[in-house]
Amino acid sequence: MRVLTFITKSTLVCLSLMPLLAGNNTNYTYLALGDSVPFGMNATLLPPYAQELPTPSEFTGYPETVAQAEHLLNSQKEVNASCPGETSASFLDASMPDNGCNSPHLQPPAPTIPPFKTSIGLHTSYTGSQMAFVEAQLQTNKHINLITLSIGANDILLALPQLELCGTDAACAQNVLGPVLQMYGANLGQILTRIRALYRGPLVVMTYYSPQAALNSVTEALNSAMTQVASQPAFAPVGIADGFTAFQLASALFNHDPCQAGLLIRLPPSQYTTTPCDIHPSPLGRDLLAATVELAILTGHLPVADKH
């Protein structure tokens, strides 16, 4: 309990620091990108747990916590363009396979949910790819002074059924995972290249936490591919928000089980569930991820300053 209390207090300290981002009266300054983690997915708001589809305003991701800490939320200085189910490929091209952003959701507990973008909607409305939206914003708004990015988990989730068929066969798993990570690395490199062609300010990429011990190795492999690409000099300055280590430390007294530590969303009893928690962050987990963004800005000495 002391470890979790320490992590919680550290989170509050980080989020109460003097704002690192300078606001502007006419343009937003923070652009949040990625998938369901920054979107703020809460599976309990979706069928079969709910009778009706929710609205985007009912979801709160870690970018909103960062924006609130930086006094950007009320003044609408943050734009969250994330899309649940987004893969690195669909981020670049909306016609590419994803896990629920532009195409029907494929994973439980909501396999019948139609495309998120056209059914529930996003925090920020746009019709094309997330990459096209980003480039349009960067071309017209020179006041942006922070971008955060969480992308890649759905690349793995789409391959997870094949990985599970491999069982303990390491060679089989490598044959499945290797090409996925190679393609992910290429896609991430293209994403960062296109961002850096229009924007040289602070950029923070978020590594993924592991929702259960069985996924630790594949999560670490994904994070390794992510940091290897993001650390290339051409993309600097890039901060790494270490979501994986943060969750591991915060759940240390719970045998590194983020569900038991309260870092994941608890699911209501249902015939559709096989585990007590969803894979997405609870409010505590969300705020912990927000703190890692703040730490990445501080420890990375990212030159955050408003542009006029």
What is the band of 1 on the pLDDT scale with cuts at 50, 70, 90? very low
pTM for this prediction: 0.89
Q: What is the per-residue pLDDT for 196?
A: 98
pLDDT at 254 over 80: yes
**pLDDT, average across residues 155-169:** 92
What are the residue boundaries of the structural domains of the chain, listed by start?
2-299
Using one digit for the tens of pLDDT, what is the confidence trace for 26-85?
478 999 999 999 999 999 998 888 888 899 999 999 999 999 887 776 667 899 999 999
Mean pLDDT of the residues in the chain: 87
Q: What is the pLDDT of residue 111?
A: 53
pLDDT of residue 48: 80
| The pLDDT of residue 179 is above 60 | yes
Q: Indicate if the pLDDT at residue 6 is higher than 60.
A: no
Under CATH, which architecture does the 2-299 domain have?
Answer: 3-Layer(aba) Sandwich (3.40)
Sign of CA dihedral 166, 258, 238, 97: positive
Task: Tell me what the mean pLDDT of segment 97-106 comes to.
Answer: 85
Bigger pLDDT: 15 vs 239: 239
Q: SS in 3 state form for the chain?
A: CHHHHHHHHHHHHHHCCCCCCCCCCCCCCEEEEECHHHHCCCHHHCCCCCCCCCCHHHCCCHHHHHHHHCCCCCCCCEEECCCCCCCHHHHHCCCCCCCCCCCCCCCCCCCCCCCHHHHCCCCCCCCCCHHHHHHHHHHHCCCCCEEEEECCHHHHHHHHHHHHHHCCCHHHHHHHHHHHHHHHHHHHHHHHHHHHCCCCCCEEEECCCCCCHHHHHHHHHHHHHHHHHHCCHHHCCEEEECHHHHHHHHCHHHCCCCCCCCCEEECCCCCCCCCCEEEEECHHHHHHHHHHHHHHHHHCCCCCCCCC
CA distance between the termini of the chain: 46
Residue 220: pLDDT band with limits 50, 70, 90 = very high
